[in-house]
Amino acid sequence: MRLDAGVRRRDGGTALLGGSPSRLLRLRPRAVELLAGDRLAVVDAASAALAGRLLDSGIAHPDPAVLPDPGTAVTVVVPVRDRAAGVARLLAALRADPATAALPVLVVDDGSADPAALAAVAAAGGAQVLREETSLGPAAARNRGLRAARTPLVAFLDSDCVPRAGWLSPLRRHLGDPRLALVAPRVVALHAPARGLAAYEAAVSALDMGPRPAAVRPLAAVSYVPSAALLARREALGDGFDESMRVAEDVDLVWRLLAAGWRVRYEPAAEVAHEHPASVGSWLRRRAFYGTGAALLAQRHGAAVAPVVVTGWAGAALALALAGRAPGRVAAAGVLAGATVRLARRMTPPGGRPPTALAAGLVLRGTATATRTLARAATRHHWPVAVAGALLSRRVRVLVAGIAVADGLAAWWPHRRAVGPGTFVAARRAEDLAYGAGLWAGALRVRSGRALLPARPPRI
């Protein structure tokens, strides 16, 4: 295992600051001995216990570059409806890779209008077809393949995906952890982006969880992984996906597995390419469809789907600052000062001095993160409320317009070499409007506003 790149050692190496959510982890003397440099080798019960704590906190990650590939047998399951050309492309990629050329592949035909075309493509690619006469949805299709598979591991690949060469081994290397249920690769754009929507999607696709490995858990930096590409331990999945859900069934499965004590990981060393929507209309419809799943998740998982996660002190400071007058800003500064003092006391090492400067930096960083979270919610999850306020108040109109531009530019900056600012900001605002519309539609459909409510960070 290796420490996360963002982790900082403190107090002579006896404490680690980092993880997701961020925390200060104090090490006992034996743990300090085991964790030499930024590496940890699991060789006995003590190192295994330390590794588990570091894994679950996001402070360290397995290193697929040095882990052995157990070579465990894998069956590929491809749920599909009316995408014969996509299946042909996927099968060609699998057969071209020596590591996956001989894998058994189950193509689950979820009620295609032309089953003969799909059957011909599958036969040419050496795959078996499992046919459903009527469409039951992607969750049911994946479950049909899961039940038919006879190998310990199952890889789910959507028909609009093309696995990159060498994708399987970095994922399978994680299966040395007996508590691991799922591991997901990075999902990247299939085609090199030129400009416009394609460039935006390649930079910040909802399927791309980014370049850094992560422990997957609700309210963390990576809170779920998409079912477009997954490697699963078959015995861990039980009955599999919830077939009553036509959207967000992948998020639901991840969170149910975590609640049952399994681990889920994201491994960007493995890549699977995805054919993103080509037209603006199909892209926006897909974003709105994703939004409808939030209400279903809120029914099952409560605050895990909260659109805004903010500490009480950060929320109070921002509310006071937005009051717009000097007394409010002074009171906000007092709240942040109090939070700094309390945090410094909690971080003080035995017999040491309170790290006030570090605590102040963490409080300011947390406040900045809370500000961005609330700003995004105003233009994404809660934009109908923001629009209503803007219609009633000039001050709110100016504030919302400023937030919309500032949020877009702040998100664009890390991707400034890949896409222009105008395109990025316009696409981000359109995406947020579509997702928010779907979110509110889903909430109205189930007659619950739970998916719209804020939450506090989890206690750690």
Domains of the chain in sequence order? 2-61 (no CATH), 74-276 (3.90.550.10), 312-452 (no CATH)
- Under a CB-based contact definition with an 8 Å cutoff, are residues 265 and 214 in contact? yes
Beta strand 105-110 with 214-215 is unpaired
The phi, psi pair for 334, rounded to 5°, reads -65, -40
Supply the pLDDT for residue 40: 92
- What is the Cα–Cα distance from 378 to 57, expressed in whole angstroms? 30
**Rg (Cα) of the chain, in Å, rounded?**
24
Backbone angles phi, psi at 244, to 5 degrees: -80, -10
**Which residue has tokens 């939030």?**
294
Please name the residue that has the structure tokens 């001050």: 395
- At 460 the pLDDT is 59
What tokens were used for 290?
């994703």
The contacts of residue 151 (CB under 8 Å, 6+ apart) are 72, 73, 74, 75, 104, 234
Compute CA distances 170 → 90, 114, 165, 174, whole Å.
Answer: 19, 36, 11, 7
Give the angle subtended at the CA of 45 by the CAs of 8 and 70, to the nearest 5°.
Answer: 90
112 token code pair: 């295609």
pLDDT given for residue 459 in this prediction: 67
pLDDT for residue 325 = 78
Tokens of 306: 């909260």
Of 284, 306, 283, nearest to 295 by C-alpha is 306
**For residue 453, what is the enclosing H or E element?**
none
Tens digits of pLDDT across the chain (460 residues): 999 999 999 888 889 999 988 888 989 999 999 987 889 998 899 999 999 999 999 999 999 989 999 999 999 999 999 999 999 999 999 999 999 999 999 999 999 999 999 999 999 999 999 999 999 999 999 999 999 999 999 999 999 999 999 999 999 999 989 999 999 999 999 987 668 899 999 999 999 999 999 999 998 889 999 999 999 999 999 999 999 999 999 999 999 999 999 999 999 999 999 999 889 999 999 999 999 999 999 999 999 999 988 888 898 998 898 876 788 889 999 999 999 999 999 899 888 889 999 999 999 999 998 999 999 999 999 999 999 999 999 989 999 999 999 999 999 999 999 999 999 999 999 999 999 999 999 999 999 999 999 988 776 5
| 3-class SS of residue 260 | coil
399 in helix, strand or coil?
Answer: helix
Q: Which residues pair with 79 in a beta bridge?
A: 108
Question: Residue 170's pLDDT is what?
Answer: 97
- Spatial distance between the Cα atoms of 418 and 194, rounded to a whole number of angstroms: 9
Reported as type and span, the H/E element at residue 215 is strand 214-215
Distance CA 396, CA 382 (A): 14
Assigned token pair, 391: 């219609």
Omega before residue 21 within 30° of 0, cis = yes
Q: What is the pLDDT of residue 85?
A: 96
